[in-house]
Chain A
Amino acid sequence: MSSPCRASLILLAFILLAGCDREKRGMTHEPKPETMAFVPSGDPRASDYENNAFQMSQGQRLFMWMNCVGCHAHGGGGMGPPLMDDKWRYGGRMEDIVYTILNGRPNGMPPFKGRLTEQQAWQLASYVRSLSAQPRQDVLYSRSDEMSITEPATLKERNAIMNEPPAPGHGPGK
């Protein structure tokens, strides 16, 4: 192949690269319409929200705005349980966490249904899972918004989620 030809091929490859955008940044009715009914197991929104850096960072903002920080600190826990470890009382899947946020849990987790939109609950769940580095590496943020002494989420080790059995009759947690 002649060298101008090779050069233009390489150039073309670079131009094509620009098409590989990482993700969509949905403003409204994205990734899924807000009116969708909640599916306790295998909700299609789970992976859409978890694998999206924009949604995750909106979750991070809401974690401060909704004062989750007041009870859970920045994941380390306080009056509420830590959210950055591998132990989950009510399940650590996206659906479980959204259920926890919207409906509350008996030992002091207030329900946010009606005070948060469902979309915001999904965004929060995405952020909550990032605290224990569950989402995909390329979606995780390398620095958190607050001053932090823990290592960035991208460096954290992803632990398999261990669920403690919840009190009987509470939610879809396993």
Chain B
Amino acid sequence: MRRRLLLPIPLFVLVSGCAGIQSVSDDAGRESGLIWSLFVLFGIVTAIFYVAVIAFLIAAYWRRGGSNQDGLPDEGGVTRERSLRTAFFLWTGAVIGSLSLLALASYFTDRGLASVNPENKPMVGIDLVANQWWWDVRYHYDDPSQNIRTANEIHLPAGVPAMISLKSNDVIHSFWVPNLAGKQDLIPGRINDIVLMPRRIGHYRAQCAEYCGLQHAHMALDVIVESPADFQRWEAAQRQPAPAPATPLAQAGYAYVTSRECSTCHNIAGTNANGTVAPDLTHVAGRRTIAAGTLPMNRAGLYAWIADPQGAKPGNNMPTVGLNADELHAVAAYLETLK
């Protein structure tokens, strides 16, 4: 019996282990920190009341077993009545007090969430456009020639707020990086905003949080929070056009990708591939995953994806092109150079 009572303790320990790359109990951002503190406060207050109610219940149960069950006043009845009354007032006071505490805490958390960018720092500006089933990412700057386009991955400098404009090309999706902030929907025909204020360097995972069709589950987004210096290096690298292919194999792949099916949908900066309806491939090999978290980014993943995208992510909007073996080797070799 004693042992069983101790069981929840390892459970609590396990819960604290949930601070992974996709976890609400992590306070890697200002918003998620605020929300998590409020959650903990709610947890503690409601736990105290839960324990108290259960304790009263057990006490009432034991009391029933006593001698005073007839409901008639006995010699001690008057005093017992008084202590009951005190207990009742104390209880009511505790309920009112803690409800007010929770209301106040909610109010201040909400104000905290609403006051975006309280220190008025310059913000990183990002347009995030959701598609079935991938994320189109555009960084915009005062000088449009500096703009960056990528997909399925966002980089953020730690300690700098990022203003993200959320749009959708087809159906309603929802943007959720639990480690950094709460959810915000992406709705076709309108623009929603969310400001993230990442505080801790790390790799996090966002997931579309509004069911959006067949491959909703395969619609993840890598979020990389890095030091401002690293972020600037990343920005500079993203602005470079695609490197020219060096090996004959990669050159054959380049010829295929920039003249055939791929180029009608995909953009590769600095080449003839200038499609706009699919993820930008200029630096695709520098990303962590393929097709919004479906496959890891490595040679095997690239082969699997290019050879049979409909097998890897059935129903997605990239057709199975049907490359022969030579073409497949060449295309994969070329894509691997797009760091």
Contacts and interface: CB of A to CB of B under 8 A. Distances in A.
A28 B260 contact: no
Contacts of A61: 317
A49 to B, nearest CB: 14
B261 A27 contact: no
A34 B261 CA distance: 15
A10 interface: no
Given A28-B320, A119-B319, A114 B260 contact: yes
B308 interface: yes
Contact of A35 (B264, B277, B314, B322): B322
13 contacts: A27-B310, A27-B315, A28-B310, A28-B311, A65-B264, A65-B277, A114-B259, A114-B261, A115-B260, A115-B263, A115-B264, A117-B321, A120-B319
Contacts, number: 35
Nearest to B315: A27
Contacts of B277: 65
A117 B261 contact: yes
Given A25-B315, A34-B322, 12 more contacts: A27-B310, A27-B314, A27-B315, A28-B308, A29-B320, A34-B320, A65-B265, A114-B261, A115-B261, A117-B319, A117-B322, A120-B319
Interface of A: 25, 27-29, 34-35, 61, 65-66, 114-117, 119-120
Contacts of A114: 259-261
Contacts of B264: 65-66, 115-116
Contact of A116 (B261, B311, B314, B315): B261
Contacts of A28: 308, 310-311, 314, 320
Interface residues of B, number: 17
Contacts of B265: 65
Contacts of A66: 264
Interface in B136-167: none
Nearest to A34: B322
Nearest to B277: A65
Interface of B: 259-261, 263-265, 277, 308, 310-311, 314-315, 317, 319-322
A29 B261 CA distance: 18
Contacts of A119: 319-320
A35 B324 CA distance: 11
B8 to A, nearest CB: 44
A8 to B, nearest CB: 35
A117 B320 contact: yes
A65 B277 CA distance: 7
A140 B45 CA distance: 57
Contacts of B314: 27-28
B38 to A, nearest CB: 42
Contacts of A120: 319
B129 to A, nearest CB: 15
Nearest to A61: B317
Interface pairs A-B: 5 shortest CB-CB? A28-B310, A27-B314, A27-B310, A65-B277, A117-B319
Nearest to B321: A117
A65 B276 CA distance: 8
A115 B264 CA distance: 7
Nearest to A33: B322
Contacts of B260: 114-115
B261 to A, nearest CB: 6
A119 B317 CA distance: 13
A114 to B, nearest CB: 5
Contacts of B261: 114-117
A122 B210 CA distance: 32
B274 to A, nearest CB: 12
A27 B264 CA distance: 20
A65 B263 CA distance: 12
A65 B169 CA distance: 12
